[in-house]
A and B are shown apart, each in its own frame.
Chain A
Amino acid sequence: GENVEQHPSTLSVQEGDSAVIKCTYSDSASNYFPWYKQELGKGPQLIIDIRSNVGEKKDQRIAVTLNKTAKHFSLHITETQPEDSAVYFCAPHTGGFKTIFGAGTRLFVKA
């Protein structure tokens, strides 16, 4: 089955700095690559996604890059703000019904 790993598990940055979280997956059939943000007491919320025919996608301060050959994709957050503090999950999708989530990265943005 699919094996998904996220690194780092915890990331602490100064406000205004950039943050990068990497997700490595094992199933070469994966074709959809979302990143979710989960705040305390809430469910995960999609912040950006990318499909396998695209290498990079950007939405304001957030970007996702995909390397299908190496089987990893990364979340990039620039000009971090305190409200970016949360847990971030990757969840690469295959054609099956089951979705495997990464273990999460806890991001702390210090003001």
Chain B
Amino acid sequence: GAGVSQSPRYKVAKRGQDVALRCDPISGHVSLFWYQQALGQGPEFLTYFQNEAQLDKSGLPSDRFFAERPEGSVSTLKIQRTQQEDSAVYLCASSLIPKGEWNTEAFFGQGTRLTVV
């Protein structure tokens, strides 16, 4: 596809359940970002990958959150033992060049809405 694809679009999890959210970035894009967006708020940075290297994970809220991008393309965000406060939209974005001194447009997926009940 031409854009960033995220799956599933919607996920309902029981509290304590583990979930995995998938992101397919635009082919050839070096940079990949994960964001968490609470209702009525702006996206909040979770983590950044440059190819397969996770260069910044400072935004991950706790050690229950884990992200990987093993081959430098598809990425998975995993949340263990989900809690109600994890309910949010999780957005993935990709960008053509490495994030650094020269910045450029990030293309966002439609997001995965996670509801923890």
A is bound by B: yes
- Nearest-Cβ distance from residue A73 to partner chain B, whole angstroms: 14
Which residue of A46, A96, A100, A104 is within 8 Å of B106 (Cβ)?
A46
On whether the beta carbons of B42 and A101 are closer than 8 Å, the reply is yes
**Known: A99-B33, A99-B45. Contact between A43 and B108, CB under 8 A?**
yes
**Residue A103 lies at the interface, judged by CB distance under 8 Å to chain B:** yes
Q: Does B28 sit within 8 A of A, measured CB to CB?
A: no
Q: How far is the CA of A104 from the CA of B41 in the complex (A)?
A: 7
Distance to closest chain A CB from B115 (angstroms): 14
Give the residue name and chain of the A residue nearest to B101 (CB).
Answer: A95
Q: Is the CB of A103 within 8 A of B33?
A: no
Pair A101/B44 contact, Cβ less than 8 Å: yes
Contacts of B56 in A (CB 8 A): 96-98
B42 touches A43 (CB 8 A): no
Q: Which residues of A contact B35 (CB under 8 A)?
A: 101
Pick from A41, A45, A97, A102: contact of B42, CB under 8 Å: A102
Q: How large is the interface on A (under 10, 10 to 19, 20 to 34, 35 or more residues)?
A: 20 to 34
Kindly supply a per-residue 1/0 record for chain A positions 24-61, scoring 1 wherever the CB is within 8 Å of any chain B CB and 0 otherwise. Answer: 00000001101010000111111001000000000000
Docked-complex contact A43 and B4, CB < 8 angstroms: yes
Within 8 A of A (CB), among B64-112: 91, 93, 99-111
**Does B110 contact A42, Cβ atoms closer than 8 Å?**
yes
Task: List residues 40-63 of chain B with CB under 8 A from any CB of chain A.
Answer: 40-45, 48, 55-56, 58-59
The answer to whether A100 and B45 touch across the interface, beta carbons within 8 angstroms, is yes
Q: Verify B91–A104 contact, CB threshold 8 A.
A: no
B42 nearest in chain A by CB position: A101
Contacts of A49 in B (CB 8 A): 105
A79 CA / B73 CA spacing, docked (Å): 41
Min C-beta distance of B50 to chain A, whole Å = 8
The chain A residues found within 8 Å of chain B, CB to CB, are: 31-32, 34, 36, 41-46, 49, 89, 93, 95-104
5 interchain residue pairs of minimum CB distance:
A43-B108, A101-B42, A32-B103, A97-B56, A93-B103
